[in-house]
Structure 1
Amino acid sequence: MNTNIKNRDEIEEQFKWNLSTMYKSVEEVKQDMKKIKDLLNQFKGYQGKLTDKETLLKALLLQDQMDQLVEKCYTYSHMKLDEDNTNTQSLALFDQVRSLFVLYSEDTSFFVPEIMKLDFQQLSCYAKDERFQDYRHFIREIGRNKEHILSDSEEKLLSSFGEIAGAPKSIFQTLNNADLKFGEVKDENNETVELTHGRYQSLIQSRHRDVRKAAYNELYRVYKCFKNTIAQTFINSVKKDCLYARLRKYNSALEASTFSDNVAVSVYNNLIASIHRNIPLLHQYIKFRKGVMQLPELYMYDLYVPLVTELNKKYSYQEAVDMVLKGLNKLGDQYVSNLRQGLENGWVDIYENKGKTSGAYSTGAYGNHPYILLNYNGTMNDVFTLAHEAGHAMHTLYSHKNQPYRNASYTIFVAEVASTLNENLLMKYLLDETKDPKEKLFLLNYNLEQVRTTVFRQTMFAEFEKITHEKVEQGESLTPDSLCEIYYELNKFYYQGVQMDDEIALEWARIPHFYNAFYVYKYATGFSAAVALSKGILEGGQNELNKYLEFLSSGGKDYPIELLKKAGVDMATPQPVEACLQSFGENIKLASTLI
């Protein structure tokens, strides 16, 4: 392990994403920002005049033009900042774009409320015109959202608070990615290394217990020092969610979140209920892991270690690309060819550098190819992360290619399906390729860990979000200590058989997804849907593949539950989650036979 993290300019260009395909310079971004302002002035001329079909159509077309420019500016500027959060020029550009976004939201806030005032029957008649074909789902949404849209002045006032409302997330991101320093620890070679977000992921998987324990304790020592500040940031984020939900006449922040996807709150609650019913399976896995590791007691820092020492090896980025592409061959030659072109030619920002945003994601702006941010360390986990983010990227590519701008963006509820399906296909390919029992055990354990972290753990996160938001909605106070207590008790329930320590009570303080409320449950539902769809592709024929590729190409032209139904899985019922957990139990038994 290198003892120093490189600066951004020390990373070779071939390992960086190529943003010049979007903008060649900051000057070009600023030209588009000026164009947005000019178009905004034109758009404001429609205020109070949306009284006939022709005017409405012109306004919708102009809004699409502006939206695409705003999306492109925002996507580029946030990626530039994510390259290095300490770069003041990138920070300045992002702040300018974010301010423009708030102005844009304010100046366009009249649009939807004015459309809401129109007779919905008349709007439905407009939708029959072929020129409104791209806006039919939008008009359907107008009818569904009517009771939650405020007056023109109220919408404008709410929009003006956009930048302030985003402050908790922005503050946390800056603190977590730029300001927090996690000190130094000894690695497996007894060398002193700087602890970072990316490096922590490797150290926590170390075969040396003292290494992972030291990394774990050092990380949470730092978060404990900032516990009060981060708690206030999170608490204000929760209060913001509850306030916005109340202002828009929802019964709860949870309902406001699920309503946006046209998903019933019962889907969220059913997920938690299914996990509670099947929690003995997680306890069974913990017992299995403890036995394999031959430890008298299992601690939280023992949960991420690969169970097979011989396979704890490193893979170059190119090796990872080749493995992923072979694993995805069931998705067809065209899918694989498009993905290879992207992964090897400028889609991906591969390695960690100082100030780079931690973790991994995929993003994209309409009319441009998708991008992937990684912090690649060469572990098997990183190979699967590449497959995961490639799934997001290809979902974006297919949706953007096959849908008009208005319908191109898929919702978060379905976003995790394509990514997790890729991981499942890669897993099946690797399991089929090996005859080595130890390698099979390694891969099975990885799969078991995926279910533990993506289904069980993300549901625990979802339960934490539900509890904290309900407390605020019921008028109860949240404090740093109460957040730690809630989180600690959840861990006791989920991780029976693991020795609880004080550090785990602070884990909530380092989870960035909590600043996108009620997001994480979609990892669990998406994983469950992906298990069902991947099984169909592997066991079925061309029909199953065609339905899946149609799903990828559908963007947001329909509601997510409906899109998944057409693909072959009904997430409105508990069945997919229950089937996923049943598969988890079967894999525990299979892994046990390999010991």
Structure 2
Amino acid sequence: MIKTDSVPNRSEISSENTWDLTPLYADRTAFSEAFSAAESKIPILASYRGKISQSAANLYAYLKEKDAQLLVVDRLYSYAFQYSDQDTANTTAQAMKNQALGLYTRLFSAISWESPEILTLTQELLNDWYAEEPGLENYRHFLNDTLRQKAHTLSAGEEELLSLSADMSYGPQTIFNMFNNADLHFPAIDDGNGHPIEVTHGRFITLMESRNRQVRKDAFKALYHTYGAYKNTLAAAYSANVKKELFYTRARKYTSTMEAHLDSYHIPTAVYTQLIDTVHSFLPSMYRYVNLRKKLLGLDELHMYDVYTPIIEYHSPEIPFEKAKDIVLEGLAPLGDDYLALLREGFDNRWIDIYENQGKRSGAYSTCVYGTHPYVLLNYQGNLDNVFTLAHEMGHSLHSCYTNATQTYVNSNYTIFVAEIASTCNEYLLISHLLEKAESKEEKAYLLNHLLDQFKGTLFRQTMFAEFEKITHEKEAAGEALTCDTLCEIYKDLNKLYFGPDMVIDDEIAMEWARIPHFYTPFYVYQYATGISAAIAFGRRILSGEPGALADYKRFLSGGCSMDCIDLLKSCGVDMTTTEPTTAALQVFDTCLGELENLF
């Protein structure tokens, strides 16, 4: 149950319910001192220009120095952004964040010559240098991957020019984030009991889960009418981001923005397109789900504001955060004692910023700087979905723990493509555990519905988002203007395709594209869909007790970016270059849907 009082200020939140940033920096003074020191060292990197191609010793010395400086800047960046995210209206924090972004820009500008100079080396020479300087072995994958991208790396002068544009390139995303988190406010609605309740980012989904249809409808309209009032501004921000991405795509001689983003991690574009095609082939299953939802809710018409409310009349109590931690620990027991010990360490030592406060960034995330423990931002509201969010974000965090304990800094930053696998595997293990414990038909049905909703939100919905990105970026590349009307038409048509004939596609949903922060990090969201496919592949093997399955999974968690992510997954038993993992995951959706249909 949502409390009807106003959202508290940051100062009103108990410290034990907030994350402790002091392991990063003791205070803002320590941040400032570290910032000045880091800034003063950047010229050291520039001094290696023209030297790293001269000898193995020079190359190794440079790469070590770069790692040392990047690690410090990572820490500064993380501290500033977390400090800002806990209260986006804090102008001091905003200034620190801008400082950190500027420092990243200056550092990468100072090393913009790096790739062009490395590309003057041959693979044969590098192989000789690996033997001559053993320390370079640590950088083998990084160096080989740099050579792989030779066709898309420009001259030193051109790379320097592009690096100088980096700070400016954050403009559309920064504008959207400030508008969405600091300036945008939604009206209050009736909570169904005659009391006003403020609609917020953090409360929206909880309101949409309400059994009271009028509450759902009012929250839906309050949110999207508010976005609609700024539709032209938001379209301009989105269009500017797409144009920016197209500029970098063409500058680096890629055929499409999709190719540019996927090639960064050596992902074939076929992985993206075959995901969309595979999901399209299972849309009849989604239509069955929509039909069942309509039937069980007893509605003549199913509207877009009816897609989050549980379709089963099961009164799950409010889940205090302490209970949520216990539920997660029980559900993830198949991952072993070492995994549970790390979970408890995070729960007991203020890794997590738990509750919503005024100005706090919406949503949830996990972040980690090499050499320190991870952090998790939540906006916990006390429902089952938030328990899954806790399991999800701790999956990210423990992925970082395993990787950082195994890999060196340069090989620790696992790619975005695999980043959602550990988090989603946690969710799958948790729901499987809860289904086994279900004590009644109603509880089982409720949990099956939750699992189906996870598929709907993660595999179907994120693929729909991915298709929206594919269409809009292709239109911009073809010279078509991305006006508000165009974006809304594309988005509404996709909702019609993905939800089918039994869903009323309300006009308001056409504005949903305007509230998706991930669209400002293009060609990211498809990885939620590929991630759930790989996660279920791992989860099913672990739960079945397959010999070696847990060891394979821990090896995956520990792999970092020491090899191409596609190859890492293959070596652990999951081949994402085929349609098999996505098809198998969608078959799980089919099976669960059949179980729920049979219960009624």
TM-score for the superposition, normalised by structure 1: 0.99
Among 532, 554, 565, which residue is 2:559 paired with? 554
Counterpart in 2 of 1:389? 393
Which residues of 2 match residues 80-479 of structure 1 at below 5 A? 80-128=83-131, 129-479=133-483
Q: Secondary structure at the match of 2:376?
A: strand
Does residue 52 of structure 2 align to residue 60 of structure 1?
A: no
TM-score by length of 2: 0.98
1:150 deviates by 0.8
Give 1:190 deviation, angstroms.
Answer: 2.2
Counterpart for residue 572 of structure 1: 577
Letter in 2 for 1:79: Q
Contact 1:408 1:556 in 2 (8 A): yes
Moved more, 404-413 or 495-504: 495-504
| Aligned AA (2:586) | L
Greater displacement, 471-480 / 247-256: 471-480
In 2: Cα distance, 1:397 partner to 1:508 partner: 34
* Equivalent AA in structure 2 for residue 215 of structure 1: A
In structure 1, what is the equivalent of residue 542 of structure 2? 537
Match of 2:527 in 1: 522
Residues 507-534 of structure 1: per-residue CA shift (max 9 Å, x gap): 0000000000000000000001111110
Distance 2:242 2:187 in 1: 30
Asked whether the equivalents of residues 420 and 530 of structure 1 are also in contact (C-alpha less than 8 Å), the reply is yes
Amino acid at match of 1:513: H
CA contact (8 A) 2:313 2:442 kept: no
- Could you list the per-position Cα deviations for residues 514-562 of structure 1 after superposition, in whole angstroms to 9, with x for gaps in the alignment? 0000000000000011111100001134511011001101111111111
Question: What SS class does the counterpart of residue 149 from structure 2 fall into?
Answer: helix
Tell me, yes or no, if the aligned pair for 1:106 and 1:160 is still in contact at 8 Å.
yes
For 1:545 and 1:311, locate their aligned partners in 2 and report how far apart those are by CA, in whole Å: 35
Partner residue in 1 for 2:47: 45
Deviates more, 1:39-48 or 1:323-332: 39-48
Q: 25, 28, 39: which is aligned to 2:27?
A: 25
Report the Cα distance in structure 2 between the residues aligned to 1:110 and 1:360, rounded to whole angstroms: 36
Does 2:590 match 1:588?
Answer: no
CA distance in 2, matches of 1:85, 1:195: 18
Which residue identity does 1:111 align to in structure 2?
A: E
* Preserved contact between residue 569 and residue 576 of structure 2 (Cα < 8 Å): yes
Residue 318 to residue 570, structure 1, CA distance change in 2 (3 Å): same
The amino acid across from 2:106 in the alignment is L
| CA distance in structure 1 between the aligned counterparts of 2:298 and 2:381, rounded to whole angstroms | 28
| Superposition CA RMSD, Å | 1.0
Kindly provide the amino acid, as one letter, of the partner of residue 181 in structure 1: H
| Residue in structure 1 matched with residue 497 of structure 2 by the alignment | 493
Q: Residues 110 and 156 of structure 1 are in contact (CA less than 8 Å); yes or no, is this contact kept in structure 2?
A: yes
Q: Distance in 2 between matches of 1:557 and 1:200?
A: 40
Q: Secondary structure at the match of 2:25?
A: coil
Provide the rounded CA distance (Å) in 2 between the counterparts of 1:26 and 1:113. 37
For 1:558 and 1:424, the matched residues in 2 are separated by 26
Shift of 1:446: 0.4
CA contact (8 A) 1:529 1:571 kept: yes
- What is the alpha-carbon distance in structure 2 between the residues aligned to residue 114 and residue 508 of structure 1? 41
Provide the C-alpha distance between the structure 2 equivalents of 1:189 and 1:13, rounded to a whole number of angstroms: 32
Question: C-alpha distance in 2, partners of 1:260/1:378?
Answer: 39
Q: 2:4·2:195 contact (CA, 8 Å) conserved in 1?
A: no
Q: Using the alignment, how far apart are the partners of 1:343 and 1:169 within structure 2?
A: 32
Question: For each residue in 1:129-166, what CA deviation from the matched residue of structure 2 results, as whole angstroms up to 9, or x when unmatched?
Answer: 42112101011112111111111111111011111111
d(CA) in 2 for partners of 1:104 and 1:210?
A: 53
Counterpart CA distance in 1 for 2:5 and 2:188 is 10
Inter-partner Cα distance in structure 2 for 1:313 and 1:121: 64
**Residues in 2 aligned to 1:570 and 1:130: alpha-carbon distance in whole angstroms:** 32
Q: What is the DSSP-based 3-state SS (H/G/I as helix, E as strand, rest coil) of the residue aligned with 1:372? A: strand
Q: Structure 2 CA distance, aligned partners of 1:43 and 1:449?
A: 49
Superposition deviation, residue 189 in structure 1: 2.4
SS of match in other structure, 1:117:
coil
Aligned residues of 1:188 and 1:206 also touching (Cα < 8 A): no
CA distance in 2, matches of 1:323, 1:542: 26
2:189 is paired with a residue whose SS is strand
Cα drift, residue 301 of structure 1 = 0.5
| Residue segments in structure 1 that go unaligned for 5+ positions in a row | none
Alpha-carbon distance in 2 for matches of 1:593, 1:255 = 44
| 1:310 alignment partner, SS class | coil
Runs of 4+ aligned residues of structure 1 deviating over 3 Å after TM superposition are none
> Is 1:414–1:526's contact at 8 Å kept on the other side of the alignment?
yes
For the 8 Å contact 1:127–1:139, the answer to whether it is kept is no
Amino acid at match of 1:572: T
- Determine which of 59, 78, 81 is the counterpart of 2:81: 78
Contact 1:127 1:135 in 2 (8 A): no
| Higher deviation after alignment, 421-430 or 533-542 | 533-542
TM-superposed deviation, 1:124 = 2.5
Partner Cα separation in structure 2 for residue 314 and residue 338 of structure 1: 26
Post-superposition CA distance 1:283-319 (Å, at most 9, x none): 0000011111010000000000012233343100010
Please say if 1:512 is aligned against 2:517: yes
Using the TM superposition, name which of 39-48 and 3-12 deviates more.
Answer: 39-48
d(CA) in 1 for partners of 2:486 and 2:45?
Answer: 48
Structure 2 residues not aligned, in runs of 5+: none
Partner of 1:5: 7
Distance 1:341 1:86 in 2: 31
Contact 2:314 2:446 survives alignment (8 Å) = no
Q: How far, CA to CA, are the matches of 2:192 and 2:370 in structure 1?
A: 45
CA distance in structure 2 between the aligned counterparts of 1:567 and 1:189, rounded to whole angstroms: 53
Hey, what does 2:37 align to over in structure 1?
Answer: 35
In structure 1, what is the Cα distance between the partners aligned to 2:218 and 2:253? 48
Q: Secondary structure at the match of 2:503?
A: coil
* Structure 1 Cα separation of the partners of residues 254 and 324 of structure 2: 45
C-alpha separation in 2, matches of 1:153 and 1:20: 40
